[in-house]
Structure 1
């Protein structure tokens, strides 16, 4: 029927750029870690080497210690493995304002299951907790799926089908938020309702607007009253 609201059962989030603010490039990571930024580390060749190693790390083919060692080796002596770990640890910055309130509100909404599908790694994933250095909002999401545990990464179509099977719903019942266009398009190709988030804006407000428009949340504000 024209104008009929979708039957959303799962609200699935990416993590970085949607729930948690992250470094967007090597320079930012180095600065946050208090380390020098070398011009040679910013060449297209150096970036390509790091991305290839990161791709293996994200699907669990290499462990964190091997990742630090290989990225250090790829830097040709500019950084030590310990310094690569510093940069890696500094990559996660903080949770976006209101993200935790939104997750709590969705968790309290009848018929809705919160979920996460993230390209990540073991050391970052382990920080989803309420303790020091942790990210508590993510920890409250009901179903959390990580690329390094699945052995798959977005935008591979197989990861969306694996996630759908975990959720136990039809593809069109999944509402997905991601900040990368290729991941959003792959989710749409899989039949999901997918929306791209502008990580440089206010991700929580963007998601609330979509959730309200689709009838998942009755109001835009966390208090339950329209502001």
Structure 2
């Protein structure tokens, strides 16, 4: 009898967003540097989150080059599409310190998964890090973005779990609300410190 697999099936699936939860993302420091000074960060954040260009790219509906050209035009940047793409590629900086070690320690006891609004460029960049997840799910592969409830329904099928067996951690309130409406157990967290604290509060062995 494989006791590790037995424990993983009995314990909840731990499913994480990536940017702002497990991965340090410099988008809201890098983006303002490309724009005229003095723009309100909260306005930029909302504009980014609701950008049609970004949503097309992170739903897998256009190539990286098409995305860059459209983004430069939409945001009226003074750099070329190729220069922007180089900046965009650098913004996610990798796991916060301690994340990989903790995930590796949890892996024998829990099914670990991620569900992220992401794109082909960043997914390829972090391919080695994402190997810790079973499975790693991205909006650009599923063709749906959070907070659409359909992405949580599709993810539950891929995870081969009942919705109530999935514990989800995301930094965006609307994603947490939608996950709960799909039957998932979900918590809003900020960064690795917040995620780690929430896991500990839930009794997850760290």
Deviations 1:178-219 (A, max 9, x none): 1111111111111111111113xxx2x4333333333332xx
Partner residue, 1:78: 78
What is the CA distance between 1:9 and its match in structure 2?
2.4
Q: Check 1:82–1:20 CA distance in 2 against 1; reply closer, same or farther (3 A cut).
A: same
Higher helix share: 2
Secondary structure, aligned partner of 2:30: helix
Partner residue, 1:113: 111
Partner residue, 1:87: 87
Give yes or no for contact 1:119–1:148 (8 Å, CA) kept in 2.
Answer: yes
Deviations 1:102-135 (A, max 9, x none): 21011121xx2100100000000001234xxxxx
Partner residue, 1:187: 179
Aligned-partner Cα distance in 2 for 1:92–1:181: 21
Q: Check 1:212–1:41 CA distance in 2 against 1; reply closer, same or farther (3 A cut).
A: closer
Partner residue, 2:204: 216
Alignment RMSD (CA, Å): 2.5
Give yes or no for contact 2:27–2:92 (8 Å, CA) kept in 1.
Answer: no
TM-score normalised by L of structure 2:
0.83
Give yes or no for contact 2:34–2:77 (8 Å, CA) kept in 1.
Answer: no
What is the CA distance between 1:38 and its match in structure 2?
2.4
Aligned-partner Cα distance in 2 for 1:90–1:30: 11
Moved more, 79-88 or 207-216: 207-216
Q: Check 1:30–1:161 CA distance in 2 against 1; reply closer, same or farther (3 A cut).
A: closer
- Where structure 1 has 5 or more consecutive residues not aligned to the other structure, the ranges are 1-6, 131-135, 221-227
Moved more, 184-193 or 158-167: 184-193
Structure 1 segment 161-176 matched on structure 2, within 5 A: 161-176=153-168
Deviations 1:26-62 (A, max 9, x none): xx1147xxx65424987969x7488221011111111
What is the CA distance between 1:8 and its match in structure 2?
4.1
What is the CA distance between 1:86 and its match in structure 2?
2.0
Q: Does 1:16 align with 2:30?
A: no
Give yes or no for contact 1:115–1:141 (8 Å, CA) kept in 2.
Answer: yes
Structure 1 segment 133-144 matched on structure 2, within 5 A: 136=129, 138-144=130-136
Aligned-partner Cα distance in 2 for 1:104–1:124: 21
Q: Check 1:52–1:41 CA distance in 2 against 1; reply closer, same or farther (3 A cut).
A: farther
Give yes or no for contact 2:189–2:198 (8 Å, CA) kept in 1.
Answer: no
Aligned-partner Cα distance in 2 for 1:77–1:189: 38
State the structure with more CA Rg. 1
Q: Check 1:42–1:170 CA distance in 2 against 1; reply closer, same or farther (3 A cut).
A: same
